[in-house]
Structures are given as structure tokens and as C-alpha cells.
Amino acid sequence: MQLGYTILYVPDAPAALAFYEQAFGLTTRFLAEGSDFGELDTGATALAFCSHALLKQLGKSPTAAAPCFEIALVTPDVPAAAAHAVAAGATLTQAPEQMPWGQTVAYVMDLNGFTVELCTPINPPQ
């Protein structure tokens, strides 16, 4: 297992990408159609931004009980990783699901209430 990317929830993903490009010299490596999700190239991992609108559309609206932060761990076998996490004490919040863009994704909550996305690699268009 490896850390794939960290997602920060923001009102405007393209504006966040532009700021980080300008302020820190990072480069956008992926911006989804609709501009609600984008990633910056940070080396082995990525810093990603997801709009509040997409967050709500995916049913993951932030609340005081659930911090508005997500860690994504990339693995070739999402169902096995989810089962392993649950066996170790994580709470399954979304069973593994094939997404329209090709990833398989599951969500668990860690012992502190942070969301951890377990996902297959995403292969942005070249």
C-alpha cells in the first residue's frame, strides 16, 4: 500500500490549483471534466482539491463530527484492503464500487473520524 494523494475540500478547485501553482511552483497534473476535482504533481504523491459541490454530490458533506479531510491510499485490490482495514478497527462507510472514470473506490473511517479512500490507481488521459 502507498499514499496516493491527499484531498483538501475547497469552494473552487481550479482557483486552489492556480494558487498552489503560483505560490509554490507546483504543476497541475489532472483536472477532471467539470473542474470539480484536480491534482497537483508533488513527486511520488499528489495534493488534490475537491470542490464542496462535488463533495456534497458524492454524499460526503462535511459535518462537525467528520473532519473535512481525506487521505487516499492506492492499492490494486480495494475489496481486500477494505476488509483488512475493517478487521483492524476501521468503519466501512462506502463499500467498494466501480466509478465511472474507471477507479474502484471504497471509503472507511479511521479511529479519529478521518475519511480514508481506498482506490485503484487513476490513469489520467495522456
Predicted local distance difference test score (pLDDT) of residue 72: 86
Domain membership of residue 28 (yes or no) is yes
Predicted local distance difference test score (pLDDT) of residue 14: 95
**Amino acid letter, 11:** P
Domain membership of residue 11 (yes or no) is yes
Predicted local distance difference test score (pLDDT) of residue 69: 77
CATH number of the domain within which 7 lies = 3.10.180.10
Distances (CA, A) of 121 to 11, 98, 117: 25, 12, 12
User: pLDDT-derived band of residue 67, with 50, 70 and 90 as boundaries?
Assistant: low
Total domains in the chain come to 1
pLDDT at residue 83 above 80?
yes
The pTM assigned to this predicted structure is 0.65
How much is the average pLDDT of 68-90?
89
Residue 96 sits in which domain range?
Answer: 2-119
